[in-house]
């Protein structure tokens, strides 16, 4: 049976998991997980987030309550069959060391009865899908970096084209740069594939970056709050959530706020290839022949010889693109050596500048609007 498109893919109803001695790992969990979205379980160690994930594919059996996937009670399905119907990615990738990358990816299709040639063909397609060089197909896991191993793990989870993908802290063992890359890759894949993804992490930043919805678990396996990242950052449900999210949540929530009313002022930048010795007082933004920013000249700087060179320039900060968040606008202003944010179009060509005082004014106006809505009894987040 297949449920209607608008209905949740996964439902928890009064689910409890109790271990020996009566200790509850998950306490009366009731929640609906949206179809085709990323739902993130986050919380401190021992809060039941991984146990809740593993009950979905019966790696852990619930003590009481009901879990359904696409309308079917998981307890009524053979555990092995249920697990093969879902993708599963774990922290250490869990690759079989004696099998090549290609054969690791082909594992689940082979278990589902797909012949070896077809399974390998599917595995080859997925290498490119997850951003891996096809030349890696014949290598073994030990010959890969940590980030490459995790990409193989994601490819293996996708090999049977499952509607549900379970991810248990998959990026926590890699360095921060690789982690950022893997997060971006997951979001790209989700835009293309629209899977129902349940993702476990202990990192609230990762949760708010990836999640369409975030479930914050408290110690003892209780669901403390289940909402959009923006709502959790703006309006924590209780002191525990506020403490877990952190004191800087007021800055983080700007990542989800579009800057309504923010003015992008015209600018007359200096084109690097055409510049000569006369420079106007104050900071000057320098762009290349195509109009893309490459740095700044300070108030007292003059070009070397008849033209500017890149060695004359002070590197710029982050850039703001139309449609990005208030946080991006504030970052562009604060990270710029001139104290002036640079706005560019989708091609990276300069559109104008942002004035920090005006960005702060928009932030304060947004904050006042939020407080007014809360005072009047409206929800903190619209939509």
Q: Any idea which of 155-159, 357-361, 370-374 has the lowest mean pLDDT?
A: 370-374
**Within a domain: 143:** yes
Q: Any idea which of 128-132, 192-196, 286-290, 364-368 has the lowest mean pLDDT?
A: 364-368
**Within a domain: 373:** no
Q: Any idea which of 17-26, 167-176, 264-273 has the lowest mean pLDDT?
A: 264-273
Quote the pTM value.
0.68
**Within a domain: 378:** no
User: Domain of 327: which CATH number?
Assistant: 3.10.580.10
Average pLDDT of 296-324?
Answer: 72
Whether pLDDT at 373 is above 70 = no
In this predicted structure, what is the pLDDT of residue 366?
67
Q: What proportion of the chain, given as a percentage, has pLDDT over 70?
A: 84
- Note whether 61 and 201 are same-domain residues: yes
- Note whether 211 and 337 are same-domain residues: no
**Within a domain: 275:** yes
In this predicted structure, what is the pLDDT of residue 51?
94
User: Domain of 198: which CATH number?
Assistant: 3.40.50.300
**Within a domain: 224:** yes
Whether pLDDT at 302 is above 70 = no
- Residue 234, CB-side half-sphere exposure with 13 Å CA sphere: 22
In this predicted structure, what is the pLDDT of residue 185?
86
Whether pLDDT at 168 is above 80 = yes
- Note whether 160 and 238 are same-domain residues: yes
Q: CB–CB of 52/222 below 8 Å?
A: no
In whole angstroms, what is the distance from residue 314 CA to residue 310 CA?
8
In whole angstroms, what is the distance from residue 210 CA to residue 192 CA?
15
**Within a domain: 298:** yes
- Note whether 201 and 295 are same-domain residues: no
Number of domains in the chain: 2
Spell out where the chain has E strands.
Answer: 10-18, 24-33, 38-42, 64-69, 72-73, 86-90, 164-168, 196-201, 213-218, 222-227, 270-271, 284-287, 293-297, 319-321, 341-344, 350-354
Q: What are phi and psi of 306, to 5 degrees?
A: -90, -15
| Residue recorded with tokens 């904050």 | 367
Q: CB–CB of 323/316 below 8 Å?
A: no
Q: Any idea which of 124-133, 156-165, 178-187, 258-267 has the lowest mean pLDDT?
A: 258-267
- Note whether 61 and 197 are same-domain residues: yes
**Within a domain: 76:** yes
Q: What is the extent of the structural domain holding 40?
A: 10-246
Whether pLDDT at 248 is above 70 = no
In whole angstroms, what is the distance from residue 342 CA to residue 247 CA?
28
Average pLDDT of 207-229?
Answer: 91
In this predicted structure, what is the pLDDT of residue 223?
95
In this predicted structure, what is the pLDDT of residue 272?
52
- Note whether 234 and 347 are same-domain residues: no
**Within a domain: 172:** yes
Average pLDDT of 16-22?
Answer: 87
- Note whether 284 and 219 are same-domain residues: no
SS3 label, residue 56: helix
- Note whether 206 and 320 are same-domain residues: no
Whether pLDDT at 253 is above 70 = no
- Note whether 237 and 125 are same-domain residues: yes
- Note whether 340 and 231 are same-domain residues: no
- Note whether 85 and 232 are same-domain residues: yes
Whether pLDDT at 75 is above 90 = yes
Helical packing angle, 116-129 and 146-158, nearest 10°: 130
- Note whether 33 and 173 are same-domain residues: yes
């Amino acid at each position: 049976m297949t449920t209607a498109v608008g209905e949740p893919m996964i439902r928890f109803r009064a689910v409890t998991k109790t271990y020996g001695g009566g200790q509850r790992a998950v306490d009366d969990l009731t929640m609906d997980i949206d179809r085709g979205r990323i739902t993130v379980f986050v919380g401190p160690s021992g809060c039941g987030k991984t146990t809740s994930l593993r009950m979905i594919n019966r790696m852990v059996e619930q003590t009481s309550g009901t879990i359904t996937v696409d309308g079917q009670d998981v307890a009524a399905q053979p555990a092995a069959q249920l697990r093969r119907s879902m993708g599963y990615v774990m922290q250490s990738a869990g690759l079989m060391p004696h099998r090549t990358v290609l054969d690791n990816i082909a594992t689940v299709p082979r278990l589902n009865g797909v012949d070896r040639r077809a399974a390998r063909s599917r595995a080859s397609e997925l290498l490119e899908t997850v951003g891996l060089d096809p030349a890696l197909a014949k290598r073994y896991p030990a010959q890969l970096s940590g980030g490459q191993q995790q990409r193989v793990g994601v490819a293996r989870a996708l090999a049977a084209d499952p509607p549900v993908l379970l991810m248990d802290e998959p990026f926590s063992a890699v360095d921060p740069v690789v982690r950022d890359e893997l997060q971006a890759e997951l979001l790209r894949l989700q835009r293309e594939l629209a899977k129902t993804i349940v993702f476990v992490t202990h990192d609230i930043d990762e949760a708010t970056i990836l999640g369409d919805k975030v479930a914050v678990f408290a110690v003892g396996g209780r669901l403390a709050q289940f909402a959009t990242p923006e709502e959790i950052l703006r309006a924590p449900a209780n002191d525990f959530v506020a403490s877990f999210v952190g004191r800087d949540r007021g800055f983080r929530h700007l990542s989800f706020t579009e800057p309504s009313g923010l003015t992008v002022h015209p600018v007359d930048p200096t084109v690097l290839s055409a510049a000569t010795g006369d420079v106007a007082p104050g900071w000057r933004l320098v762009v290349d022949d195509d109009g893309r920013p490459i740095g700044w000249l300070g108030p007292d700087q003059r070009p070397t010889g008849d033209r500017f060179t890149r060695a004359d320039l002070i590197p710029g900060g982050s850039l703001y693109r139309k449609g990005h968040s208030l946080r991006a606008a504030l970052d562009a202003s604060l990270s710029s050596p001139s104290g002036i944010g640079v706005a560019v179009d989708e091609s990276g060509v300069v559109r104008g500048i942002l004035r920090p005082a005006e960005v702060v004014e928009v932030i304060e106006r947004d904050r006042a609007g939020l407080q007014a809505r809360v005072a009047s009894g409206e929800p903190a987040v619209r939509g």
